[in-house]
Structures are given as structure tokens and as C-alpha cells.
Amino acid sequence: MITIKEAKTKKELKDFIKFSFDLYKGNPYWIPPIIAEELEGFDKDKNPAFEHAEARFYLAYRDNKIVGKVAAIINWQEVNNQQKKKVRFGWFDVIDDIEVTKALLEKVYEYGREHHLEYVEGPIGFSNMDKVGALTEGFDQIGTMITWYNYPYYKDHFEQLGYVKEKEYLESIFSFDNVSPEMYIKASALVKKRYGLKELTFTSTKDVMPYVDKMFDLFNSSYEKLSSFVAISDVQKEYFKKKYISFINPEYIIFVEDKDHKLVAFSIVMPSFSEALKKANGKLFPFGFLHLLKARKKSKDVVFYLIGIDPEYQNKGVTAIIFDEYYKVFKRNKIETCIRTPELEENHAIHNLWKNFNPVIHKRRRTYRKDL
């Protein structure tokens, strides 16, 4: 018999998180999150996503053993401002038993119907800054700290339960050897001269901070036309500023501004923390923090996390400035591999940025939808 219980206490939420550690134990491709950070993300007093969202966390039990979990989420900005009558589900993990999957998702449906919503979509987080999508290809590829991993049977469960594809995401990888500096040196100089642009590079985090609010404003404006986008609020800006910016090598943050000091483009790259997180195994102390610190300084793989360009400057070659600067930094740090985070299949503009690097699509993931 399957029993579903809502996780409310700190212990229950920790059980919710740690179930994934049991499910993927020994799997070389799953990347464990930091347990304390996951708990903070589920705390409505700490995570500003709850300013415009609410969630319930459900655990499935059989014979007093946890066999699955899911978060049911409503993003009220999406529902009220975009008129998308949608309940989300995320942080979904389950044993290979479709009856457990069905029982968990029924709780998501109940939650959605309570609020007169019309359909469900997932796996997806609170906002665009969260992880997204169930893996459908690339199960033998190591994950990143900003993506979910799952077993192949998840796709089968969703389809058997009547779900259809909502959004498709691509992840690609390319060797730094594929990057030719000649391609960007000349183009960068021409674009800067033609439009009066200037790159901003950094050596310390404190010098980055004055630009971060502008960066998130630009992020909102450059992605607002994508159908799945929900804007980042001012409170969320402060949260992400504290949570992520100090974690990133300042030399991996590049901004471009015009002659009036208006920010027109930005890019954030992170060192890959995948292997460090596997060693940390969910804990920062006593040694997890040291593994992450070492990866921050020594990783030969980098993850392109965010890139945004003012709509006025899209298709004007601004990325040449960014790639020209990254080439110098990556060459200095002996970077070997560049990894792209999930990109919407429909976002052709972003795909065109990478075409000259001969990227290989090594993973696909998607969100699934079902009418209520």
C-alpha cells in the first residue's frame, strides 16, 4: 500500500532531500546537492521565490520506507500576470513503480484543482533560476550543479500517465580547442568601435556587486519574450546576489556597456563543481567546502551559466566582445571543456551563439504537461 504524506517539519524536509541520495547511491552521473542549501530553498522565510509562489512537499511511503517525492508549486506571477493557469511539479524522484508516480502526481492535481488551475507542468522549479526538465537523453553523462538527473524510466512513467511534451531543452558541450581567437579579435574591435561599447572585466567580487542589479534587469528584458519566462523580482535579485555571485570567479563575469554606461550585455561562467559536489556528498563540512574551493580555483571545465543581450543589440555581434575576453581568461586558466546549461529548443538566437564552436548535443530534457 502506498501512503502519501506532506513533508512539513525540518526532519521531514531533510528526509525529502535525502531520498535522492538513496535512490542514486553509486550512480556516477547524479550530482548531489548541498543539503543545507536545499533546505534553505524550501524555507518560505529564506527563499524569496515564496514572495510570489507557494509549495507543498509530498513523500510517498510503502512499508514505512520512502519510495518517492514531489514538490507541488504555484507561481502566482505566472498564474495572475501571464494568465497561465498552471500548477508546477518539481524535485520529483521515484522508484521504478508507476503506481508510486501516479499517487504522487495525484497530490499535485489536487493542489492545482484547489486553486482552480487548468493544467500541470513539470519537472520545473519555482522560477527560471531553478532547475528544469526531466532528462530524456544523456543518462550516461555527468550532470551539473544546476540540473536534475533522473533515470530513463521517468519519461516512460509520464507518457504512460498521459503527459505530453511541453518544452524541450538542449545541453551541449565543446572543447576549448574548438575556439579560434582570430574569429573574435577583429570582430570584437569592430563592434566596439561601431557602437561605442566597452567590456568590463573583474578581479574581485566586490567590484562586480554594483553592476548586479543592472544585470538582472537586463536578464529580465532579454528573456521576457520567451513563453516560459517569469521575471526576477527585486527581492530575488538580492537573494541571488548573495547566494551565487560570491561563488563565481570574478574573472568569469563579463559585462558590456555603451558610451552612456548602460549595460547592454552580460555573461556568467562558472567552474564545474560536479566532481567536487560528488566528493562533498551533500555536506559543506568538514571537507565539502574545501572540495568546492579547490574546484573554483582549479577546475579545467567551465559551465556557461547565464548570458543576456539587450534586444536592441541582439544580432549586432556583441557576443564577439564577450568571447574575445573569455578566450583570454580560459587560455590563462588552461580550460579544456565548455559546457552549456539547458537551452530552450525554440531559442534559436542562443543556439546560433555556439555554432562556430562545433558543439555536441550530449543531453536533452523536457518538461511534460497534462490537463487537469
pLDDT at 163: 98
Predicted pLDDT at 227: 61
Per-residue pLDDT tens digits for 54-96: 999 999 999 999 999 999 999 999 999 889 999 999 999 999 9
Structure confidence by residue, pLDDT tens digits, 232-262? 888 888 888 777 787 789 999 999 999 999 9
Place of cell 532579454: 222
Among 14-23, 112-121, 234-243, which is the least confidently predicted range?
A: 234-243
Handedness of CA 217, 219, 222, 228 (dihedral sign): negative
Q: Give the chain's mean pLDDT.
A: 92
Higher per-residue pLDDT: 22 or 232: 22
Domain boundaries, the chain: 2-170, 175-364
User: CA 125 to CA 106: how far, in whole Å?
Assistant: 18
> Does the structural domain 2-170 have CATH classification 3.40.50.980?
no
**Per-residue pLDDT at 352:** 78
| Confidence band for 228, pLDDT divided at 50, 70 and 90 | low
Percent of the chain past pLDDT 70, that is, above it, reads 99
CA 110 and chain centroid, separation: 27
Same CATH fold assignment for domains 2-170 and 175-364: yes
pLDDT above 90 for 20: yes
Question: What torsion, rounded to 10 degrees, do the Cα atoms 355, 358, 363, 365 define?
Answer: 10
CATH class of the domain whose range is 175-364: alpha beta
Average pLDDT score over residue span 26-34: 97
> What's the pLDDT at 261?
92
